[in-house]
Amino acid sequence: MSRLEAFAVEGAVDLTVRTPGGSVTVEAADDVAEATVELEPRDDAARTAVEEAVVELRRSGTRAELFVSVEHGFRVGGRRGPRLTISVGKGPKLGVRIRVPSGSSLDVATESAGVTATGSYDRADVRSASGDVRLEAVEGEATLKSVSGDVSVERVAGKASVNSVSGDAVIGTIGGPADVHSVSGDVEVREAEASAKVKTISGDVRISSAKEGSFEMQSVSGDLTLGLRSGSRLWVDARSTSGKTKSELDISDAPASEDRPLVELRAKSVSGDITVVRA
């Protein structure tokens, strides 16, 4: 039997989720006066965990802290504002569904659960060992990690740090600096407003549209592709041991002095191709 809890909140909350397996689905929406949490058991162990869950709302002055603990107590301190915490003990698999106000923060750690978060968050820190991670929008900083699952986020307005071992990583738009690492998965950044550093071993890397800043792209056997946005200038230092290096654009050996956004590309590959195209 599933369990549904609702808590009156005023404004955005800090949301923390800890679960070993199953799924985590979070929705951030406008005009939300209640934070809702639904726990649905996926196996026998989870049924017991849901039944014994402790849910508590604490208020201290204008601050509210909401805790949802399954199997054992869990608390994260040191953060400002209202806080929503969910802790799921090791072993059971649950379907966790949450609805919070827009602008809430997101902190999720799981072993195998897939994580999907729709809506807009002020910051996000999501870590999964084997589950996929999918986010819609983060207005501040985002840190996303997965070992074997895919990672995708539509928009990050601030700094983005993305790590994946064997899964693919796809980022729509990044407003701040980006640091992306993958071992065998492909990496795609569709629009980069600032600097980016992307490294893979065997995966391909594609930055479809770069506006300005320093772009470091590195791979051993994967192909590297950079798209230059119209109106931006380009300076390149590209080296490939056995792959081809080619460009659709005129390339200078030193930054030009024109008053236009400058993209500085430093690309290295052992056997992969390096290509510069028009965005």
Q: Smallest Cα–Cα separation from 277: which of 242, 234, 214?
A: 234
For residue 88, pLDDT over 70 is answered with no
Q: How many CB atoms lie within 10 A of CB 207?
A: 27
263 phi, psi to nearest 5 deg: -105, 120
pLDDT of residue 54: 66
Contact 180, 207 (CB under 8 A): no
124 pLDDT above the threshold of 90: yes
What residues are paired with 197 via a beta bridge? 179, 216
Instruction: Look at 23-27, 92-96, 103-107, 149-153 and tell me which has the smallest mean pLDDT.
Output: 92-96
**Minimum mean pLDDT range among 26-40, 47-61, 70-84:** 70-84
Name the one residue in this structure whose structure tokens are 């750690």: 109
Report pLDDT digits (tens) over 228-276. 998 898 999 999 999 999 888 765 544 455 788 999 999 999 999 999 9
What is the pLDDT, as a whole number, of residue 47? 85
Asked whether 173 and 154 are in contact (CB, 8 A), the reply is: yes
With a pLDDT cut of 90, the percent of the chain lying above it is 57
CA angle 150, 137, 264 (to 5 degrees): 75
Cα dihedral 103, 95, 107, 89, rounded to 10, equals: 150
| pLDDT at residue 254 in the model | 45
Q: Compute the average pLDDT of residues 90-97.
A: 77
The structure's pTM equals 0.87
Nearest to 276 by CA among 108, 240, 28: 240
Instruction: Give φ, ψ of 201 to 5 degrees.
Output: -95, -60
Task: Give the 3-state secondary structure of residue 151.
Answer: strand
